[in-house]
Chains A and B, each alone.
Chain A
């Protein structure tokens, strides 16, 4: 049966890693960004859209990327979908930051 990458209940698996770690600065930033973007006042997109964007990952991306990395990728995609920023603007900004750091 056709299933989405996140729909893994009941499939054979390796043991689950239960090790905990303190939230990293990167994770906190992504969390804060999502909370602000989905707050009622801003409402850039819905949590349902976030989940849908995450489910659109390829199986390979879904497995390799961490939880917050998938959030970040989905945030980027949804901001473009909603016309809030363009792909070109994001690339331009990344280039500008890279230059500043060099």
Chain B
């Protein structure tokens, strides 16, 4: 699930995904932390980047398209939290 709460000073996670649960489909890689790079820091320790698939119907209340329509977003581990059901 994408974390709720106020965005950090530099956050690449769109508001429309916050509080929404999705499915991790790919581990993209291990990168320098953009939240730290943004403030001229070395960006260490490195953080994992996940590719997450969200159903359009779980993002938009009045979504009229297909139930199968999805949005993919690349999100860093510190912007995600485990979903309670698991």
Of B10, B16, B59, the contact of A48 (CB 8 Å cutoff): B10
Q: Besides A7-B15, A51-B12, A52-B39, 17 other CB < 8 A contacts? A: A1-B6, A3-B15, A7-B7, A7-B14, A10-B15, A46-B37, A46-B38, A46-B40, A48-B10, A48-B34, A48-B38, A48-B43, A49-B37, A49-B39, A52-B10, A52-B38, A81-B40
What are 18 inter-chain pairs, A to B, with CB distance below 8 A?
A1-B6, A4-B11, A9-B16, A45-B40, A46-B38, A46-B40, A46-B43, A48-B38, A48-B43, A49-B39, A49-B40, A51-B10, A51-B38, A52-B9, A52-B38, A55-B10, A81-B40, A82-B40
